Amino acid sequence: MNIGKALRYVFDDENWFVKFIVGAFLSWIPLIGLINTGYIIQLIRNVRDGEAHPLPKWNNIGMYFMDGLNLFIGISVYFIPTIAYAFITMLIFFGLAFLGQQERLDLEYAQIGLWATGFCMNCGIFLLGIGPAFLYPAILIRYAKLGKLSSVFNLRSIIRFAKRDLGNYILLILFTAIFLYTLSPLGMIIFVTSLLFTYWVDELVLYAVVSLGIIIFGTCLILIRWICELIIANMIGQLLLHNALLRR
């Protein structure tokens, strides 16, 4: 994989600014943001096809939305065990908290139960989420190749693809973890901390300044995440192209 090319290709397109800003704007809107996922799929296809400027135009919104919706449904199925586990442990957590508050359970035992439940919940979510997160690029590639919802459930083919070029695939996973799974939580922590800070600010001017800072920071976070998604998509497209060349 040509990492340098993935980092700079966006800016090689003469219309990169408009294409980039449209995607960043759509990222603000949760449901409409599915269009961005479809856009990423088309970008992967363009890289696979060897287009000189693979950033797609925003001229097929309907197709992008349907691709994004299909992929969202498919990925959600993979995370059903994680969601179910999180829901059950949260019920236990809030149940223990309620019993402790109503003094139906000794406070010390309630606190131990809350700590143990929270620990098990976090560990379980992490362990259950590793598999889908590891296979996510391969699922994207599978859907980009076939364009059918059913294609994302062919687990044997997805695993076989991930194993075929394992070195580059692991490199892609590492970059995905750094760009997406580390950047977003870190940014969210800072964002929430800033919100809590503004709650305790009494001075109107300072409140306005901090609020403006939060808006600016949130906007920058979305822009950075979007460029990271475009970089990862290019790397996924390169992996798909390389895999196609290996099979010839």
| pLDDT tens digits, one per residue of 134-187 | 888 889 888 988 888 888 998 888 888 888 878 888 888 888 777 666 555 555
pLDDT band of residue 52 (cuts 50, 70, 90) is confident
Residue 28 phi/psi, 5-degree rounding, is -70, -25
pLDDT in tens, 67-104: 999 999 999 999 999 889 988 988 887 877 777 666 66
**Mean pLDDT to the nearest integer, 4-25:** 88
Written as one letter, the residue type at 40 is I
Average pLDDT, the chain: 80
Using 50, 70 and 90 to split pLDDT, how confident is the model at 223? Answer: confident
219 against 190, higher pLDDT: 219
Q: Give the long-range contacts of residues 35-39, CB within 8 A, separation 24 or more.
A: 35/61, 35/64, 35/65, 35/68, 36/64, 36/68, 36/226, 36/229, 37/64, 37/67, 37/68, 37/71, 37/72, 38/63, 38/64, 38/65, 38/66, 38/67, 38/68, 38/69, 38/71, 39/64, 39/68
- Helix (H, G, I), strand (E, B), or coil: what is residue 58? coil
pLDDT above 70: percentage of residues in the chain: 77
Which token pair is 34? 């599915």
Average pLDDT over every residue of 216-244: 81
Please tell me the predicted confidence (pLDDT) of residue 241.
83
pLDDT at 18 over 80: yes
| pLDDT value at residue 248 | 47
Predicted TM-score (pTM) of this structure: 0.79
Among the ranges given (21-30, 57-66, 87-96, 185-194), the one the predictor scored with the smallest mean pLDDT: 185-194
